[in-house]
Chains A and B, each alone.
Chain A
Amino acid sequence: MSELLKQALKRGPECPEIEVLIESLESPNTSAGVRRHVADCAACQAEVALYQGFEASTPVSGEERQAVDFIVARLADRMLPPKRESVFARLFGSLTPVRMGAFAMAAAVVVLGVGLTTQWRARQVEPVAETGIVRSTKIRVTTPLENVSRAPAEIAWQAVEGATTYDVSVAEVDRTVVFYNKFTTSVLPVPADLARLLVPGKTLTFRVTARDSAGKELATTGAVTLRVDVAGR
């Protein structure tokens, strides 16, 4: 290709900085000079087109959609949940050491008093029979996944009341996410690219998180081992 043409297609010293170029084009006060330059400059037009492509995040192809889901799942996996500020820090963060000591003494007296009272009451009251009901936020996976003779065609789990979506992820043992998607039903028809990973002897972890319409987590399966037995080869 002609060197002269390549030069005409590259950004030159007269081109504005890309950041300035993008911001000025979005501004109604963009100077006529910048607009004139962009109209004549292929490289600046390409930069504008690239930024517009970035802003239009909807994947064009199925391959891109899968890649984006995979990358987003990996990013989300590596984003740690916010550190919670302890109630102690919020209440006592601004106290001086002397005041802190006084609070500690008072708290010790209260704890001692409550402890003695509880012990005394325990001797007076008959024990109450346990109900046997255990509250849990665990979702049970209904399809057997561990040491199965062949890879399942679909994976089902207990539906959760109030759940509108189920985040499903499959990860390697090193926590690398190899599959991630959202479903509205409590069953995952195993797609071909996931089925290919379910080779005998390979251990993966399967996780479903149920969310309500606001995106709030309702329940989770936790990490469930997914492994096809070598004998099933």
Chain B
Amino acid sequence: MTPELTLHAADCIGDRHSGLYSDWMRDVSPNTSDEELVAVFNDSRSSAAQRDRAVNELFSRYHSKVAAWCFRVVGDRDWAADLAQETFLKALRALPGFRMDAKFSTWIYMIARNSSFNAREARAMRPSAEVDPEMADESERIDEILESAGELAQMREMLRVLDDTERAVMALHYGEEMTLPAVTRLLRLDNQSGAKAYIVSAKRKLKSAVARWKSSGSPERLS
């Protein structure tokens, strides 16, 4: 279970100057940029209340994005809620070290991505060894052909016959070992059979590409 998230900045940074501080500089509003909010949070002259307002405003902007992301990775709302909470807790702890030359959205995305991918690996959420009958026929035959394709560079060249979505689906399913439902959610595929359809079409394309390669003698003529 993830520890309780308490977004009080004072719990994170202890060193603070006392005294009055120009509040007009510390205003937090929906128009304040992410990076300005980080600056308020990290400014040692900000009061605890100002820090709390800044971090609450900042994090609430990313609640939906992080929630959706975590749910797409694991497909379970309770687990995703724990992961989302863990993401914000890690972000809160790491915020004092945030580099101002990076975008906050990229930074929080990386935390959410790594937390959820690590959690997924820890629970060994990998694609099932069972192969869908519709895909099995293609898989068995294509494996032998692909093994004979030879070099890694040639294999990469051959992947160019696939469209962008097919490549992304293949990379996530076989490269990152994600389940097909997770790939479907993460790439926001709204076709009926989701990522599976892209895997099937990708394998068909690869198979015919290998056949053409063998007859032409060059992978460069495939695309």
Contact = CB atoms under 8 A, between A and B. Distances in A.
Interface of A: 1-11, 18-19, 22-23, 26, 40-43, 45-46, 49-51, 53-57, 59-61, 64, 66-68, 70-72, 74-76, 78-80, 82-85, 90, 93-94
B187 interface: yes
Interface of B: 4-8, 10, 18-20, 47-49, 52-53, 56, 59-60, 63-65, 67-72, 77, 80-81, 84-85, 88, 102-103, 105-107, 109-110, 112-113, 139, 142-143, 146-147, 149, 152, 155-156, 159-160, 162, 164-165, 167-168, 170-172, 174-176, 185-188, 190, 206
B152 A23 contact: no
A177 to B, nearest CB: 9
B49 A83 contact: yes
B48 A22 contact: no
Contacts of A83: 8, 10, 48-49, 52
Contact of A7 (B52, B65, B81, B152): B152
Given A55-B105, A64-B185, A76 B60 contact: yes
A5 B155 contact: yes
A7 B53 CA distance: 46
A84 B71 contact: no
Contacts of B105: 55
Contacts of B174: 1, 5-6, 9
Given A4-B155, A8-B152, A71-B80, 13 more contacts: A5-B206, A7-B152, A10-B171, A46-B176, A49-B187, A50-B113, A57-B68, A67-B80, A68-B67, A82-B53, A93-B19, A93-B20, A94-B19
Contacts of B67: 67-68, 71-72, 75
A24 to B, nearest CB: 11
Given A1-B139, A71-B81, A75-B88, A23 B102 contact: yes
Contacts of B4: 78
Q: Is the interface of A mostly helix, strand, loop or mixed?
A: helix
Contact of A57 (B65, B85, B206): B65
Contact of A80 (B7, B80, B81, B147): B7
B77 A71 contact: yes
B71 to A, nearest CB: 4
A201 B148 CA distance: 65
Contacts of A56: 188
Contacts of A61: 190
19 contacts: A4-B152, A7-B155, A9-B159, A10-B175, A19-B102, A42-B168, A53-B188, A60-B190, A64-B72, A70-B77, A71-B67, A74-B81, A75-B63, A75-B81, A79-B5, A79-B56, A82-B53, A83-B52, A85-B49
B167 A22 contact: no
B19 A23 contact: no
A7 B152 CA distance: 8
A8 B159 contact: yes
B68 A68 contact: yes
A54 B146 contact: no
Contacts of B5: 75, 78-79
B146 A4 contact: yes
A8 B155 contact: yes
B211 to A, nearest CB: 15
A43 B159 CA distance: 11
A75 B64 CA distance: 10
Contacts of A7: 152, 155
Contacts of B65: 54-55, 57
Nearest to B56: A79
A93 B88 CA distance: 31
Nearest to B175: A9
Nearest to B88: A75
Contact of A67 (B49, B77, B147, B156): B77
A10 B175 CA distance: 4
Nearest to A74: B81
Contacts of A41: 156
